[in-house]
Amino acid sequence: MKKLMICFTLISTLMLTLIPSASEAEISSETKIQAIKNSADLPSLKYAYEDYFMLGFVATSSSLSTGYHPFLDRHFSLLATAVDNENADFLIDTAEDEGFGVHGYSLICDEKHFEKLTDNHDNSPISRTEAIEYLKNYIHSVIERYEGQIHSWDVVSGAMRDTSGRVAWRGALKTTGSDSEPASPWWQAFNNGADRARGENGADYIEYAFRFAREADPNAFLHYSDYGMGINSDKAANTAAMIKEINDKWLDEGNTRLLIEGVSFKEHFNLDSDVSVVEQNIRRFINIGVKVAITELDISLCGYEDDELSASDLYLFQAEKYAELMLLFKKHSQHIEFVIFLKTDDFYYALNGGERALSDYQSKLLSDDNFNPRLTYYAVIAPESFLAGDFSTAASRFEWFEESVKIVPFEVEDALNILRYEAELITLTAEQYKRYDLNGDGKVDVSDAIYVLRIVAGLIEQ
């Protein structure tokens, strides 16, 4: 009886909250925060992919220090961030508080460490011995600081040249420089004093980095990361050969877990990107037993505005490419660890200093700055239905969207079910729990019941 009284009391309270004050309505119509909250009405991307792989976003202090959380919480379960800057503690602590997993970006890449590796007046490299000591101390200090808080690491990033051709992998590294691809200061330092008779050379920095990372956190998932491996088959083949050789050596020493367990594709596709080539290159890494992650995913329209295509045509072709890629990732989901979007919406991009333009970032994002979904959102959440649909008019898009994501209208009974659950009178199935978690905070409670009743009353749209 006590639980029933609690339930009825909650119902009375909820019904009163259905009548917004004038000030509340005025504020909500004028602020971006309300637009963010309204985005919680959209079906959750992360729930659409929870049986496949995690979805994530590239985080900055700007995005995580605003009222932006409801949108991010609703759609993503993972964030990616660099962890060697002044905002790292804030980002990682916030991620932990909000329930996000964290992928740590690029411990070892050329541009971060140039000054430490070339401390002479003529920019000549430090010695191999000095470089090994610096590498070990740096990796241990960063990884140990966040041990247990980081889901996975990009340990080494961008070691391969883009234009090497299909060669023995050491020949594909940035051993010498050019205007477009400077020589790696890591390679030069490790090569300075290498004992050729013992098989030492500049390429050793990659293996050393992974060994030090495994020492620093035995439980972390370690990735090699590089740009363009989805569409650059030579780079992908050379990288796969490198990873296989390093892993084979590690296993021959008696270890049972791979040293390099994943590869991160930092992918910036365009409308001409061949999805069949992307699949071939994903398979290269599946075949050597490592997981694949897609990071910084976007599809650029830059350069297509002069092709006598309308903006609406470009957006449609872009969405179709997103759908084709997401369908591919779902096909290989057993081997895909996560997919991270570079930017998610115009509001996010503006927070970080971006300028909107058809030819650049605005055209890459899933929703506009009022969190109205673009075609790309529909393509990502239900790629099979999108590729089978007719999107010649806005009305057909909306009708298709309702059908493809199976939106079932909420009723008062749904609010009552939430309250019964809150009062421990009933249990919920996994499907009900997912449906009733309207604010995406991972729990079902009174706030979700309020949301249902506001939808039923027509105050907000489902």
Which has more pLDDT, 187 or 164? 187
Residue 49: pLDDT band by 50, 70, 90 thresholds? very high
Other C-beta atoms within 10 Å of 391: how many? 18
The pTM of the full predicted model, rounded to 2 decimals, is 0.77
- Domain ranges, ordered by start, for the chain: 1-11+26-44+408-462, 49-392
Of 133-147, 211-225, 334-348, the poorest mean pLDDT is in: 334-348
- Choice among 51-55, 217-221, 302-306, 331-335 with the minimum mean pLDDT: 302-306
What is the rounded average pLDDT of the residues 47-67? 81
Q: Do 99 and 107 contact (CB within 8 A), yes or no?
A: no
- pLDDT tens digit sequence for 6-23: 444 444 444 433 433 333
CA distance 125 to 118: 4
Task: Collapse the DSSP code of 44 into the 3-class scheme (helix H, G, I; strand E, B; otherwise coil) and give the result.
Answer: coil
Return the pLDDT at 318. Answer: 87
Amino acid letter, 97: D
pLDDT greater than 60 at residue 64:
yes
Q: Is the pLDDT of residue 85 over 90?
A: no
pLDDT of residue 264: 97
Nearest alpha-carbon partner for 60 in 90, 36, 40:
90
- What pLDDT is recorded for position 3? 45
Q: How far apart are CA 295 and CA 57, in angstroms?
A: 9
Q: 309 versus 47: which is more confidently predicted?
A: 47
> Regarding predicted confidence, which is higher, 158 or 367?
158
At 63 the pLDDT is 64
232, 162 in Cβ contact below 8 A?
A: yes
Q: Report the pLDDT value the prediction gives residue 354, as an integer from 0 to 100.
A: 46
Q: Compute the distance between CA of residue 418 and CA of residue 425 in angstroms, rounded to an integer.
A: 10
Give me 223's structure tokens: 């990735």
Class of 49-392 per CATH? alpha beta
Tokens of 269: 């596709």
| Per-residue pLDDT band at 346 (split at 50, 70, 90) | low
| Burial class of residue 61 (count of CB atoms within 10 Å of its CB; 0-12, 13-18, 19+) | middle
Report, as an integer, the average pLDDT of 455-462.
72
- Paired with 153 in beta bridges are 104, 222
Helix (H, G, I), strand (E, B) or coil at 118: coil
Which of these ranges, 154-163, 255-264, 304-313, 338-347, has the smallest mean pLDDT?
A: 304-313
CA angle 158, 241, 127 (to 5 degrees): 50
User: 260 phi and psi, to 5 degrees?
Assistant: -100, 110
Question: Is 220:260 a contact under the CB 8 Å cutoff?
Answer: no
Q: Are strands 221-227 and 262-270 parallel, antiparallel or unpaired?
A: parallel
Tell me: pLDDT of 218 over 50.
Answer: yes
Burial zone of 115 (CB within 10 Å; 0-12 exposed, 13-18 middle, 19+ buried): exposed
Residue with more model confidence, 121 or 151: 151
Q: Provide the percentage of residues in the chain whose pLDDT is more than 70.
A: 75
Strand 291-300 with 54-58, pairing:
unpaired
162-191: b or e for each residue (b if 16 or more CB lie within 10 Å)? eebeeeebbebbbbeeeeebebbbbbbbbb
Per-residue pLDDT band at 358 (split at 50, 70, 90) = very low
Per the document, the length of the chain is: 462
| pLDDT, tens digit (0-9, with 9 covering 90-100), for 301-338 | 777 766 677 777 788 888 899 999 999 999 999 999 99
How far apart are the C-alpha atoms of 368 and 408, rounded to whole Å? Answer: 25
pLDDT value of position 20: 39
Strand intervals (E) in 278-335: 291-300
List, for residues 409-455, the tens digit of each pLDDT value: 788 888 888 888 888 888 887 767 777 887 767 788 888 888 888 88
Q: Which of 137, 53, 44, 101 is nearest to 329 (CA)?
A: 53
Sign, CA dihedral 406-410-413-417, equals positive
Residue-by-residue DSSP string for 351-366: HTT----TTTGGGG-S
Long-range interactions of 327-334: CB distance < 8 A, separation 24+: 327/383, 327/384, 327/387, 328/275, 328/278, 328/279, 328/282, 329/52, 329/53, 329/294, 330/49, 330/52, 330/383, 331/279, 332/279, 332/282, 332/283, 332/286, 332/292, 333/51, 333/52, 333/53
Residue-wise pLDDT for 171-215, tens only, equals: 999 987 776 678 899 999 999 999 999 999 999 999 999 999 999
pLDDT score recorded for residue 9:
42
End-to-end CA distance of the chain: 33
Amino acid at site 246: I
